[in-house]
Amino acid sequence: MLDPNLIYNNLNEISEKLSKKGYSLNSEEFKNLYESRKNTIKEVEALKEEQNIFTKKISKEKRKPTNEELISIKKLIEKIKKFDDIRKEVELNLKKILLDIPNIFDDEIPIGIDEKENKIIKVVGNITNFDFPVKDHVEIGDRLNLFSTDIAAKITGSRFNLYTGLGAKLERALINFMLDEHSENGYKEIFPPFICNEESFVGTGNLPKFKEDLFKIEGTKFFLIPTAEVPLTNIFSGDIIDESSLPINLVAYSACFRSEAGSYGKDVKGLIRQHQFNKVELVKISTPIGSKIEHESLTNDACKILDKLELPYRVVLLCSGDTSFSSYKTYDLEVWLPSENSYREISSCSNFNDFQSRRANIRYKYNNKIGYVHTLNGSGLAIGRTLVAILENHQQKDGSVRIPTVLRPYLNNLEYLK
């Protein structure tokens, strides 16, 4: 949530920035509600001060109020209630607007409508020049009996997967490897619930805007999480953290659940875009002054996983139109997929500034003052897509798949999937 004072005091500038993110701010409506709230609060405070003066006067004079005074104070109390009700309604309407407004973006990011305007920051690793016909991960998985979307479809429905044998072991190995690596790098491991309440989803910006993308548990106010970002960030909702405790670095594995409305074509084939998948998530809670450095650090931590898995990838800075609703600045890590002859997103590393902390009311204490923290998160990494990248980039001419060296201790020192 953006600071309403920031919007009001920079209305034209904020409106212009939001338009470059594809959002049209109704400036007049916002201005009217903001000023109405301000005036109503002022009126309520004036009336309460009048009541306070009267109470002090009676107390000082050590007497009971006259009937005339009682009638007068009763009218005053009724007036306070009336204006207080108006204030609550205005604040509710203003909050509804604020919850719908996306975050602004860093001046460093490129201006653009979609991914075509994204900026490539660096390209890492060598793309293998295969001397045999490249197979995609679906064909490799089927040949090696690693997973089955057909069996999963029988059990549940389309766009689910069932790992079997070495496929299940490889998925688990990736989870354990990533958790161990990030833990050694200073992140505290958390195992969160996979179900959260509405307030938690509002806190991270998933609700109310993206309700269609979520799986709601019927008859409840609970939703399945689309990422561990939701429970990890909301660990601190309503809290005031001492500055000396920042930054806070958390890592968690979770299953993730997404409706993936609107995806189609090749994206629904295999493991690329499913309703349920596994992910290791990184979350940082930072001071405002430190969040830029922490963003670079978090991104580098995710990159290290790709480096150790010997996977070619690139880091991309998203343009204004491709930056998500809640994000202030985002780097995408895109891994090379030989079967598609292109790069595919495997992690988004974002700095949200105080956008989420205002929604979730996460603050910190510094120099006897209270302010809002900055929140950051990123995939470290999406497990299914990492498995896809390993199968495709490390496939061999004889149909086997070479296991990256760092994963072998997690797989009884197995060198190849055969």
Q: Where in the sequence numbering do the catalytic residues fall?
A: 258, 273, 345, 348, 385
Strands 248-257 and 188-190: parallel
Give the position of tokens 């809002």: 372
Nearest to 234 by CA among 182, 301, 285: 285
Q: Which alpha helices (DSSP H) does 185-290 contain, by range? A: 198-204, 229-234
352 contact partners, CB below 8 Å, separation of at least 6: 103, 205, 326, 327, 328, 374, 375, 376, 377
d(CA 285, CA 224): 23
Distance of CA 415 to the CA centre of its chain: 36
Residues 336/393, Cβ–Cβ less than 8 Å:
yes
Omega before residue 288 within 30° of 0, cis: no
b/e for 159-173, b at 16 or more Cβ within 10 A? bbbbbeebbebbbbb
CB 408 within 8 A of CB 417: no
Q: Half-sphere exposure of residue 301, counting CA atoms within 13 Å on the CB side?
A: 31
| Contact predicate 169/147, CB 8 Å | no
How far is residue 398's CA from residue 414's CA, in Å, rounded to a whole number?
Answer: 17
Among 77, 15, 16, CA closest to 52? 77
Nearest-angstrom CA–CA distance, 17 and 2: 13
